[in-house]
């Protein structure tokens, strides 16, 4: 429990928590064994939920056993808080999801920071809170999650939504998003090079635009099909 929740002297460590829980179960602690079993069942249903089964998401929130996981979250299991928040989010129960997403985000589970920013985007479109949590993801996460955070934060700066509009900063964030593996970030920076934005330090360069469209296409995640189409268009125009 100490490694699950963490305190001022002990850093939270989910792997160690699971290791000691298994050991306790092996030594005959029935309550711990039951908790492990419940968590495994919960995570199996969760995997179906995140795979796109919205009915499963809603079904999970209505199960009696779900209240047990809420208790685990209240006790300090931030990993479970994150899973609960994600399930409520995927079940489109956004307001209920919010406190669970925030608790997990505050404990450095960055996918939950991203989803929390999405919730703010739904209910408070011009609030700085969305940008605030995208910035957390962009600055602290890694890989594609970082790319998502930087890409969405770039959009906020491009539109001046909840932050002072800053096109130059927006495109630097799109570039970072692309470099972190997010296709839509590559598309956005490519578009800047295609049309040219010299007043923001981006000179028109069709060759560079094609390169970024190609990167966005190759990444194959959100928005990749637009990058593929633009790469094909420039290729057919004879852009090297």
Instruction: Assess whether pLDDT exceeds 70 at residue 209.
Output: yes
* Locus of tokens 């306790």: 24
Cα 167–chain centre separation: 23
Six-digit token string for 131: 């940008």
Paired strand residues for 197: 202
For 197, phi then psi, to 5°, come to: -135, 65
Distance CA(84)–CA(82), nearest Å, equals: 5
Q: Which of 24-28, 130-134, 207-211 has the lowest mean pLDDT?
A: 24-28
Over pLDDT 90: what percentage of the chain?
A: 65
Helix, strand or coil for residue 224? helix
10 Å CB burial of residue 114 (0-12, 13-18, 19+) is: buried
Distance CA(127)–CA(62), nearest Å, equals: 32
Residue 46's pLDDT band (cuts 50, 70, 90) = confident
Contact 57, 85 (CB under 8 A): no
10 Å CB burial of residue 30 (0-12, 13-18, 19+) is: exposed
Residues 6+ apart with CB under 8 A from 129: 117, 120, 162
Q: How far, in Å, are 88, 93, 227 from residue 54 at the CA level?
A: 10, 11, 29
Helices 183-195 and 206-219 sit at what angle, rounded to 10 degrees?
Answer: 170
pLDDT computed for residue 214 by the predictor: 97
pLDDT computed for residue 14 by the predictor: 63
Q: What is the pTM of this model?
A: 0.81
pLDDT computed for residue 68 by the predictor: 81
pLDDT computed for residue 3 by the predictor: 41
Q: Which of 20-29, 75-84, 131-140 has the lowest mean pLDDT?
A: 20-29
pLDDT computed for residue 119 by the predictor: 95
pLDDT computed for residue 13 by the predictor: 53
Q: What is the mean pLDDT of residues 112-128?
A: 90
């Amino acid at each position: 429990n100490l490694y699950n929740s963490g305190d001022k002297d002990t850093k939270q460590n989910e792997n160690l928590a699971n290791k000691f829980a298994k050991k306790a179960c092996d030594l005959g602690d029935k309550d711990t064994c039951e908790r492990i079993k419940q968590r495994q069942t919960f995570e199996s249903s969760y995997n179906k939920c995140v795979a796109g089964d919205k009915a499963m998401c809603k079904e999970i929130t209505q199960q009696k056993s779900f209240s047990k996981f809420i208790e685990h979250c209240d006790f300090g299991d931030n990993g479970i808080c994150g899973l609960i928040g994600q399930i409520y989010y995927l079940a489109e129960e956004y307001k209920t999801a919010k406190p669970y997403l925030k608790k997990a985000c505050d404990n450095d589970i960055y996918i939950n920071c991203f989803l929390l920013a999405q919730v703010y985007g739904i209910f408070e479109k011009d609030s700085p809170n969305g940008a605030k949590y995208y910035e957390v993801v962009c600055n602290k996460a890694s890989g594609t999650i970082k790319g998502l955070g930087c890409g969405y934060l770039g959009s906020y700066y491009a539109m001046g939504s909840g932050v002072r509009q800053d096109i130059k900063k927006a495109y630097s964030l799109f570039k970072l998003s692309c470099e972190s593996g997010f296709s839509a970030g590559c598309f956005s920076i490519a578009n800047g090079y295609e049309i040219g934005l010299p007043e923001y330090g981006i000179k028109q360069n069709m060759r560079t635009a094609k390169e970024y469209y190609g990167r966005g296409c190759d990444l194959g995640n959100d928005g990749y099909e637009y990058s593929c189409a633009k790469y094909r268009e420039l290729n057919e125009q004879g852009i090297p």
